[in-house]
Amino acid sequence: MGMIFETHAHYNDEAFRDDLDSIFARFPEKRIGRVVNIASDLDSIGECLDLAHRYPFMYCALGIHPSDSAPLTDELLEEIRGKLSDPRVVAVGEIGLDYYWDTPDREIQKHWFEEQLEMARQADLPVVIHSREAAQDTMRLMQDHRAEEIGGVVHCYSYSLELAKEFVKMGFFIGIGGVVTFKNARKLKEVAAGIPIDHIVLETDSPYLAPVPFRGKRNSSLYLPYVVDAIAQIKGMDPEEVISRTEENAERLYRLRS
Ligand code: NI
């Protein structure tokens, strides 16, 4: 029987400071298997590595989120690069462009996105891409850097089905989380219906984006069964099959063995 693979969480977030172990203790009951914890800013790099070493079911991705890229320097990027050979590191991320918050300056965001794409290529790791209201520039930079050779996931996917098909053509996975349960998420439901199951991975982005009926509350991987059920319903599939297929996909994405 498959286990739910959580491809994107932030358990280093202070929202989990007091009860991380009690959340993890309930993983078996909700059939949560492996988790990839994702770094975002400079402080989170060390925290994510620590967590991935402390918990045997946890891996991590190391990288700098576009909204946190202002303090990056070549020296700091070298420090991150040096940690990528750690066996618990399975990806570079999250990296990308965020024109919703739109800070720092777009040229700074683009610069560090490009640098980190090349860092992933050199380290032979996939990328976890964060892209918000920046579809065109994200696709253009990915094409410029031949991202199809690097591989990865577009996490918390928020664009059209048409563009999702382009990412899938590049071999990328589409990360789907709690938003798919929202009543007004017509576009994401179309994406879930329209792309093949073998390019979908499950994620929460915890502590953010809890699914219905917990919308607005703190999210955790424990709520992933709601995402499984939503995708199963949209695709007319058995929830068990959604769990096992997306688990296989996550193993392919992060190049892990079952
Ligand atoms: Ni995230």
**Structure pTM?**
0.97
Rounded distance from Cα 96 to ligand 1 centre (Å) = 11
Distance 42 CA to ligand 1 centre (A): 14
Domain that holds residue 223: 4-254
Going from the Cα of 153 to the center of ligand 1, the distance in angstroms, rounded, reads 12
Per-residue pLDDT reduced to its tens digit, 202-244: 999 999 999 999 999 999 999 999 999 999 999 999 999 999 9
Give distance in angstroms: CA of 210 to centre of ligand 1: 13
The token pair that represents 27 in the structure block:
């993983």
Expressed in angstroms and rounded, the spacing between residue 80 Cα and the centre of ligand 1 is: 18
pLDDT of residue 1: 84
Structure-derived torsion over alpha carbons of residues 136, 133, 131, 162, reported in degrees to the nearest 10: -60
CA 245/CA 183 separation, integer angstroms: 25
| Dist CA 117 CA 77 (whole Å) | 12
CA of 10 to the centre of ligand 1 (A): 7
d(CA 97, CA 89): 22
| C-beta separation of 133 from 94 below 8 A | no
Positive or negative torsion for Cα 140, 198, 52, 207: positive
224 and 179 in contact (C-beta within 8 Å)? no
Contact between residue 180 and residue 227 where contact means Cβ atoms under 8 Å apart = yes
What is the rounded distance in angstroms from the CA atom of residue 257 to the CA atom of residue 251?
6
The pLDDT, as a whole number, for residue 53 is 98
**pLDDT tens string 105-150:** 999 999 999 999 999 999 999 999 999 999 999 999 999 999 999 9
Go through the chain and tell me how many residues it has. Answer: 258
**Among 9, 75, 88, 17, residue whose Cα is nearest residue 46:** 88
Task: For residue 219, give the nearest of 46, 16, 24, 60 by alpha carbon.
Answer: 16
Tokens standing for residue 230: 């939503």
Q: What's the confidence (pLDDT) of residue 258?
A: 66
* Domain count within the chain: 1
* 257: pLDDT strictly greater than 90: no
Cα–Cα dist 193/233, whole Å: 10
Q: What is the mean pLDDT of residues 51-60?
A: 98
CATH of the domain at 72: 3.20.20.140
Q: How many CB atoms lie within 10 A of CB 8?
A: 27
**Minimal CA–CA distance to 135: which of 95, 107, 168, 163?**
163
CA 28 to CA 117: how far, in whole Å?
35
CA of 234 to the centre of ligand 1 (A): 24
